[in-house]
Structure 1
Amino acid sequence: MNNTSTTTLTMKREFNVKPEKVFDAWLNPVTMKKWFFTLEGTNKVAQNDPKVGGSWEIVDHRQGVDYRAIGDYVEINSPEKIVFTFKMPQFSELEDTITVELKELGQGSEMTFTQLIHAENEEQWTDADIVKALDEMRDGTEHGWNLMFMGLKELVETGKVSYQG
């Protein structure tokens, strides 16, 4: 039986808009489909029930493949905090937990993003193998969020995302 390991990714971003606008971009399906695991041109599904216990789903279609991301809302405290689960069932049944915290900074806002990343370990892996796998997973996850957060920033500050994949 495979064990799992965990690592944490924390990222901070600043926006030139109030926290309410960033908060809404995380929960409004119209804006979600423009940046959250998808782009407007490749999005097939963007739906959610933004309440504690409610679920969300994104389906992105790229290069002939559907990529599905799903989760449940654990905590919603407008406009300061959202906590939700995340998984992509086609790759793993493991579920990560994501926390988005927003605070007002003068005329803008700061977002602190934290993802608790779970990874499956192979039976023959050494401790060094596990550390290497977690580092690679965290780095790859950070790269993906960097791209998404560029789109989020552009969306909340200008109303559109110019990058389309």
Structure 2
Amino acid sequence: MSDVSTTTLKMTRNFDVAPERVFDAWLNPEMMRKWFFTLEGTNKVTQNNPQVGGTWEIIDHREGKDYRAIGEYLEIDPPKKLVFTFKMPQFSELEDTITVELKELRQGCEMTFTQLIHVAHEENWTESDIEKAHGEWRDSTEHGWNLMFMGLNELLETGEISYKG
């Protein structure tokens, strides 16, 4: 049995803005620093090179600690699809893959978010341990993205996020 397995988190959100606006929020550093894994009040670094093979980095300062998220762009097809890697090196060298797909609706757009989550196994894990870990990882990851997507929605609608961290 492998030391790592993969589970998939899939989420769908509707926004009352054009897909181009949502796509831009994923790539524009000024927008990213307000919602993507960070908040304006806690963000220390937001760097982005939005091209295939380009990298991004966010450093967020919470509760006295720096949290670093990094990745590389694998596919950029504005304003329809974005694929990139996501890794937090202080916790794991495992790299997840995130796909964001945008579809224009009559009013606004629909975003489908998919994250392939890699889960490291502990020694002697059984199949049920792996299933339990997959559920826990999906739940905690979904919780974090739910909060971020609420901030993204507020940012797209108002230009600001009321919670500053």
SS at match of 1:5: strand
Of residues 122-131 and 36-45 in structure 1, the stretch that sits farther from structure 2 once superposed is 122-131
Q: Which amino acid aligns with 2:43?
A: N
The aligned residue for residue 20 of structure 2 is 20
The aligned residue for residue 112 of structure 2 is 112
CA distance in 2, matches of 1:81, 1:131: 30
Indicate if the aligned counterparts of 1:2 and 1:120 stay in contact, CA closer than 8 A: no
Indicate if the aligned counterparts of 1:101 and 1:112 stay in contact, CA closer than 8 A: yes
Q: Which amino acid aligns with 1:75?
A: E
How high is the sequence identity, in percent, across the aligned residues? 74
The aligned residue for residue 153 of structure 2 is 153
CA distance in 1, matches of 2:157, 2:15: 7
CA distance in 2, matches of 1:2, 1:79: 37
> How does 1:119-138 map onto structure 2 within 5 Å?
119-138=119-138
CA distance in 1, matches of 2:37, 2:2: 28
Cα distance per residue 1:94-151 (max 9 Å; x no partner) = 0000000001111200000000000100121111001001100010000000000000
Structure 1 unaligned regions, length at least 5: none
**Superposition misfits of 4+ residues, deviation over 6 angstroms:** none
CA distance in 2, matches of 1:77, 1:8: 22
CA distance in 1, matches of 2:128, 2:107: 45
TM-score by length of 1: 0.98
TM-score by length of 2: 0.98
Structure 2 unaligned regions, length at least 5: none
RMSD across aligned C-alpha pairs, in angstroms?
1.1
